[in-house]
Amino acid sequence: MSNCIFCKIVAGEIPSTKVYEDEKVLGFKDLNPMAEVHNLFIHKDHTQDLNDLSDNKQDQLGDIFSAISKYSKESKLAEDGFRVVTNIGNNGGQTVFHTHFHVLGGQRLGGFGS
């Protein structure tokens, strides 16, 4: 989508610090990190959110989660553990409407059972 900032990152029109890339998926550092390690993983093909992706391009789920898993092992993030989060809509706090998964780690994360 022409007015989507993450599509512009995929196209190289907005700079980003890449941590992972393959044919279909891009991982890059979040501009406003909420943890020692805070990356965003996206499919290069635009969808709006997880439900749009699930309804229309379900194959992308495997592409994205395989990439996150591969990255976590290569970067050693998997050794100490990490968290994957996706925000959907207003109550979820979604601010960028190109499906993305936050990959958080590098420290003990708070919330959710800690």
* Residues classed as catalytic: 100
Residue 32's CB is within 10 A of a number of other CB atoms, namely 6
* Cα–Cα distance measured from residue 12 to residue 53, given in angstroms and rounded to the nearest whole number: 23
Q: Could you tell me which stretch among 23-31, 50-58, 62-70, 74-82 binds ligand 5GP (CB under 6 A)?
A: 23-31
Residue among 52 and 94 whose Cβ is closer to ligand 5GP: 94
What token pair was written down for 43?
Answer: 């499919």
* Cα–Cα distance measured from residue 79 to residue 73, given in angstroms and rounded to the nearest whole number: 8
* 30 interacts with ligand 5GP by CB under 6 A: yes
Q: In angstroms, give the least distance from the CB of 108 to ligand 5GP.
A: 20
Alpha helices in the chain (DSSP H): 5-11, 50-56, 59-74, 77-80, 89-92
Q: In angstroms, give the least distance from the CB of 12 to ligand 5GP.
A: 13
Binding-site ranges for ligand 5GP (CB under 6 A): 5, 14, 16, 28-32, 40, 87, 93-96
